[in-house]
C-alpha cells in the first residue's frame, strides 16, 4: 500500500464524513483484510500509524449502520497515537469519533491537539468549530468557521485577500 494513496484515500473518506456524516460507500472487505495484514506486518511506526488511521476511517464509513464502529475506531486511533503521536490525522479522526458519540468535550480536546500539530489543518479547525457550537461556545465556533473560510479562500484564490 502506497503512503500517497493512503493519504489521498483518507482525504476522500474524510470529506465524505465531514460533509455527510459518513462515507456512503462501504469498505471492500478484501481491502480491509489486506490492510489489516499490512498493519500487522508494518515495522515503521509512522507508516503503521498512518495505516491505523486509514483503517479507523474505513470503520467510520459504517457509523450509520454500526454505531459501535466509533468505539473500534477509537481503539485503532489510540494505537496510532502510540505509534506516532505527532500525526495530526490521529487526533482529528478520533475527534470525529467522539463527536459522533456525542462527546463534544473529548472531541474538542482531540481537535485542539490536531491543530497544535498542524495550525493549517482545515478539517480540524472546522470540526473544532462544530464542537464549540455544541458546547455552547458560539463566539469561538464562529471564529473557527471564519478562520476556516479565510484559509480556504487563500487556497483557492491565493492572490486575493478575503
Q: How many Å from the N-terminal Cα to the C-terminal Cα in the chain?
A: 39
Whether the full predicted model's pTM is greater than 0.85, yes or no, is: no
What are 52-69's pLDDT values in tens digits? 888 888 777 766 557 788
**C-beta separation of 141 from 130 below 8 A:** yes
What are 107-133's pLDDT values in tens digits? 999 999 999 999 999 999 999 999 999
Amino acid at each position: 500500500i502506497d503512503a500517497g494513496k493512503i493519504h489521498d484515500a483518507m482525504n476522500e473518506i474524510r470529506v465524505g464524513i465531514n460533509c455527510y456524516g459518513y462515507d456512503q460507500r462501504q469498505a471492500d472487505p478484501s481491502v480491509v483484510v489486506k490492510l489489516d495484514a499490512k498493519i500487522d506486518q508494518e515495522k515503521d511506526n509512522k507508516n503503521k500509524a498512518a495505516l491505523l488511521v486509514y483503517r479507523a476511517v474505513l470503520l467510520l464509513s459504517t457509523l450509520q449502520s454500526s454505531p459501535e464502529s466509533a468505539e473500534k475506531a477509537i481503539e485503532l486511533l489510540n494505537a496510532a497515537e502510540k505509534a506516532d503521536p505527532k500525526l495530526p490525522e490521529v487526533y482529528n479522526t478520533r475527534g470525529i469519533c467522539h463527536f459522533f458519540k456525542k462527546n463534544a468535550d473529548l472531541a474538542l480536546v482531540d481537535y485542539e491537539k490536531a491543530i497544535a500539530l498542524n495550525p493549517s489543518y482545515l478539517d480540524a479547525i472546522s470540526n473544532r468549530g462544530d464542537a464549540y457550537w455544541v458546547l455552547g461556545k458560539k463566539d469561538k465556533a464562529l471564529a473557527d468557521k471564519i478562520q476556516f473560510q479565510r484559509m480556504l479562500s487563500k487556497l483557492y484564490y491565493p492572490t486575493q485577500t478575503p
